[in-house]
């Protein structure tokens, strides 16, 4: 059974501050290039930006933060950059988890983790276990993740769990097997860096999410930039298929 309501079956309650924020942290490499620095310097700065955004989410009462750190397509990047990214991931887990634990942040990593080396996999297991009882903020890092992969792995799990109903499955049957089954659908999706696409991120979950695109490069995305995104969200009319009149109680058409 799904833990949270579905925006295509139910009418989710809209909140002034988004309960779940999803972010594509784009622009690290371009930030470094503008400063004549190696691309990895931008990724290092990006970790610092994420740390600040986590702090601000805690302060604003955002309950879930999901960030796209490494897509299943990012393996196509130059091998030296991929290797440096993996090293940075290891270092971040080694250095940040204690701080997350002190601040009551629960860390989860979703994606096809079997492709990562054993050290990284073990650090993921340790970090998730160490923060498992924390309740202030669920920080989910999508690593070697793709939205199509997510749907297919969920379908395969459902086929094993409930083969007798093949051909008669419903959305609610699939949802518990999705990588993000433990979180509500995102209320607000942010992509930094000026690109305006979702790049195979949370394809199932973003069905009725509000989108916010900004040219700000991720290393420059700070608390003030996050507040701009939240202010934009607060101006949206979230109808979920209904009309404005229905929302305002003025009609049923």
Strands 64-71 and 105-110 turn out to be unpaired
The answer to whether residues 45 and 219 touch, using CB atoms and an 8 Å cutoff, is: yes
Detail the DSSP E strand segments found in the chain: 20-24, 64-71, 105-110, 137-145, 188-191, 210-213
Contact residues for 246 (Cβ-Cβ < 8 A; gap 6+):
239, 252, 253
Q: Which residues contact 53 (CB under 8 A, 6 or more apart)?
A: 23, 65, 221, 222, 223, 226
Using DSSP's 3-state secondary structure scheme, residue 109 falls into strand
In angstroms, the CA 47 to CA 89 distance is 9
Catalytic residues: 26, 74
């Amino acid at each position: 059974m799904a833990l949270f309501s579905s925006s295509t079956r139910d009418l989710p309650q809209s909140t002034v501050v988004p309960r779940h924020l999803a972010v594509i942290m784009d622009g690290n490499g371009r930030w470094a290039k503008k400063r004549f620095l190696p691309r990895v310097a931008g990724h290092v700065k990006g970790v610092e930006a994420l740390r600040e955004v986590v702090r601000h989410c805690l302060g604003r009462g955002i309950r879930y933060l999901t960030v796209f750190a490494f897509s299943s397509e990012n393996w196509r990047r130059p091998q030296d950059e991929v290797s440096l990214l993996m090293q940075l991931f290891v270092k971040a887990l080694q250095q940040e988890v204690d701080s997350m634990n002190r601040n009551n942040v629960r860390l989860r990593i979703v994606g096809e983790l079997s492709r990562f080396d054993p050290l990284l996999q073990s650090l993921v297991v340790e970090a998730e276990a160490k923060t498992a009882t924390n309740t202030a903020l669920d920080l989910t890092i999508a690593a070697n993740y793709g939205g199509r992969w997510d749907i297919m792995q969920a379908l395969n799990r459902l086929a094993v769990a409930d083969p007798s109903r093949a051909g008669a499955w419903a959305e609610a049957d699939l949802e518990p097997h999705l990588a993000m089954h433990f979180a509500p659908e995102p209320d607000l999706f942010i992509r930094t860096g000026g690109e305006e696409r979702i790049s195979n991120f949370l394809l199932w979950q973003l069905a009725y999410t509000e989108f916010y695109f900004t040219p700000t490069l991720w290393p420059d995305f700070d608390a003030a930039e996050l507040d701009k995104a939240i202010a934009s969200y607060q101006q949206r009319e979230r109808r979920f298929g209904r009309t404005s009149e229905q929302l305002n109680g003025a009609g049923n058409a």
